[in-house]
Structure 1
Amino acid sequence: MASAGLREELECSICLSIYTDPVTLRCGHNFCRGCIHRVLDTQEGSGGYVCPECRKKFQERPALQRNITLCNIVENFLSTKPGQKPVISCSQCFHALVPAVKSCLHCEVSLCENHLKVHKKSPEHVLCDPTTSLEDRKCSIHKDKLLEYYCNQDAACVCVSCYVIGEHVGHKMVSLPEASESRKNKLRNVLQEVMTEREKMEKRVQSLEELRKSAQEKTDGETEKVTVVFKDLNRCLEDLEKKVLSNINRQAEQVSLHYDDVLRQLEIKKEELSRKMCHIEELCNMTDPLTVLQESHTGDLCGMEDRHKQLHDGGDLDVASISHTLHTGLSDIMSGVTGGVYIQPADISLDVNTADNDLHVSNDRKTASWANRILKRPKRPERFQDWPQVLSSQSFSSGQHYWEVDIGGSGHCAVGMCYPSIDRRGDWSRIGENKKSWVLNREDDLYSVIYDGEDIWLPEFSSVRVRIYLDYEAGQISFYALCDPIRHLHTFTVTFTEPLHAVFRVWRGRIKISGGRPEM
């Protein structure tokens, strides 16, 4: 048990074998030098390097430090490990341990290079690679006989006595070298098949690595693009905030100045009134009637209301102007974001001239439903004849577009895209059953995507609203379930050769094209 635990500690986490020339990363994890070299090579050009064990990131390719202590532990473990091939020494070298180069099956000894030169070379002295299992080379029945033949019938190695007088008499025999060569030829064929299969796996791994790299590059690109959008958005919002606050402050200063002027005039009026009050009180206290009558008719005591009637309390913030500036600025920012980066939903409408006579199209051309009766529409070459299907009026030959469809009203329906050259009658006109259409299909609660008659079944999802996304230049048609969060269902990757139309099939019930909004 202790040996098994030690072996686990001495296994490389990449190749799952005992370490070969172990090296250490800065994070402290150990790997075979060759294994970690290959891993780091695959990470070239990805913007950094990652430890396969702890996922620690390194900006530059990490230096590999040979772990001398671990090397010694591995060597000691391999030298004492049960089943490890022992070093066979020469049986004739009594005073030193000299490695043997051959073993003699006849003499049952192992020989070094020097003793092999003087060893007898008669036919009965059969030489083989160094071995300690000399008894395994002899027949278990005829103890003194060497195994020299191979019985094809019993798949067993036998001696000459077994061949001539033993239980293998009459069986088809070949010599051990001949049988070995025959087995090697079969193994070479198997090896070739394994090598071919491995090459396929390597190409597959390379392809997947390229796809992963492409996906990572796309992710990095989208991340950078979104980051730029939000930086610009924050900058625009900050500029708009400064503009609106500046407008408010400017108006506030104007209002404050106005009130300062009014208050100053009112203070002057107060002083004037106070002075007149004193003068009037003096007149009222006079005893000379003539003086009272003469001075009470002076201009200072008349027309005061007319003189001050223009003073008022006017002046306030222009809230309507502030609101207009704010909303106009926000609208301009939103227009810049949606128009400059994100995709506006396509305005999809149904082409009645392509609709099968079992299919009813609403007046706004947004809803297709099962008619429950055969409609008598004019015959047209573009009209579907055998399946309740309809195309969109719009076609797309470039750019990125998306639209959304509510399929909750129909248990049997299909939505997707097709070429305008699709057949309009016959079995091959059913969308998904040919090489000219790509659809998401619903049968009750079962969903699949179909192309050229091949179904790829999808896991269940709860939403009955789906989004179809087209990137014509990238050759991609993608389907999404509008759950929370949005769930990617499948992407077809194609090299498009024609414009594309949205296409719909409804069997019972109805489907409806719904308006979408750019995802913010």
Structure 2
Amino acid sequence: MAALARSPSEPGLVALEEELTCSICLCLFSSPVTVPCGHNFCASCLELCWAGLSANFSCPQCRATFAGRPKLQKNTVLCRVVEQLQGRAGLGAAEEKEEEEEEAAGRGAQAPPVRCDSCLQAPAVQTCLTCTASFCSEHLRPHRDSPAFRDHQLCPPLRDLQQRKCPQHNKLFEFFCGQHGSCICSLCLLGHKLCPTSPLQVAKANAQLALKKRLVELHNQSERATRAMNTVKTNQSQAAETASEKKDLIKNEFLEIKVLIEERETQTLKAIADEEKRVSNKFDYIYGVLGSKKKEIQSLRDQIEMALTEGDDILFLKRAAALQQTPTKDAFVPLIEMDQNLLHSTYQSAVNLKDVVKLSVIQCREKRVEAKLTPGKTKTPPAASSNRTFVGKKPPGPQHTHKEKILHQAQATLQVEADTKEKKKPVKVAPTTGTLNAAAVVSTKELIDSFLKKSREELLQYAANITLDYNTAHNKVILSERYTRMSVSDIPQNYNHHPQRFIDCFQVLGFQCFKRGVHYWEVELQQNNFCGIGICYGSMDRQGPESRLGRNSSSWCIEWFNSKISSWHNDVEKCLPNVKATKIGVLLHCEGGFVIFMAVGEKHNLIYKFKTQFTEALYPAFWLFSSGTVLSLCQMKQ
């Protein structure tokens, strides 16, 4: 590399210089860094390119994109290569000689002595700075003996006196210019009249003093850095210890919850087992009674058979008369059933406890999602937080913890069941209602499965061409292509006031409404996955936080938030598996009480289904996040 640097005109060095050139500033690398795709750039150039970006970082050369901001590290190998190329290219013959001497010194060789400039043979003993020449002891005699050389300045032998001379005036350097940072001769003082200058010895003393102060400052900075590193390690250890303690506390809390749930499970199963034992004992008793009756009947049969073998007519008639008067009854099995009230109440208590735990988990998940979406908002204290479905109700007091609320609700449920069990006597309950409900559930499930198995051509027989209702569109929602395409504008559209128009959310409803029958329509996600597709009642609010699709009990929707897909109803979110689709099919069955969202393709892929009893007419509903989001209604042939 040194050889290449000494001959910058060689073609190989030119090619090397091109490889070491930044593609942004077209100069040699300065503090080069490497991006994940393998390309190198100046650190400052890359910082300018990525300034102001929070996402979508890309390589300026190959345009490769990165998920997050890459961690850049200095390429030390390139740094050394560039430094060698820059430093070696400007070296002259004198520097080459000095390098050779340094290499020889590194190998243990001694530097050659300074020769006398008069005889060019004997080693010099002193150098005259006035004559700018070195002399041996013989030729130095005039300087010692003659008064003419009394003012000449002598010093130990010096090598390369030409480097100590001013190249412009050929005089020795005597002063130092602090402004330009260079040594000057006495004639150069005229050009540096306004500059702070000082003799070389004074400048050297000042520089030494400044470097000593700098050295002390660096030492103090090093000690402060060491203390800071120790502080970081201490804080790291404290953070790990705090996290460990919190994890232990959380494990204990969940262990208590598990113990309580297992205790409740044991109690519930014991109640069922006791009822089973009671009924089983009754069956055992009846079984024993029937066994005794069977033995009596068998004994009577044996007596009759023996009487039939009697040969004496008188004895036979007496025995026959007695046997005919012996009474016998048919076996009777009384109706024995388990206490249906007890079975239902114990099962319902388990369901209630599950709902309480499920509701708590959903609330926690919902809060975490809200915290991610709105990181700048202040966190709500746990004691004051409550599910948004309980708007207008008094929140629990600050003295109750989250676990206590769950326990209180579970205890209240158990107390109600106990009171009901004490007040009510066991009543035989006919299982017809449960059978009818189970049959209805099975029928609805079979109906949904039958529609999910249908092909797109079969679903198109229920196709409905949906158009958008101009009177419901938000003031920034643009409707185009004969009211089948919607997007968001940054500029208000100055729509006329209408009581059905959405005020706060970028939403619009379909013009068609459905009260009965089966209906199917398709929506195309053209740009930007920040949107929602669903259905709602016409009575849904048009303004306020509850007017957003899925955030109330009057609407059901599927929402795309970038790569995240969620179902929303009654302000409860459920995260769904990611399904890549550009066209969404919506199947509504009014009498069946369900709506299905599916990804349209060669084979329909279920996204989510809602099951409920619809009480009002339903409208197709759509939500857009911001400008750039576009939805289009597919017009299908019927």
Which TM-score band applies after superposition, normalised by the shorter structure? 0.3 to 0.5
TM-score by length of 2: 0.30
Task: Give the structure, 1 or 2, with the largest relative contact order (CA under 8 Å, sep 6 or more).
Answer: 1
TM-score (ref. length: structure 1): 0.35
Report which of the two has the higher share of strand: 1
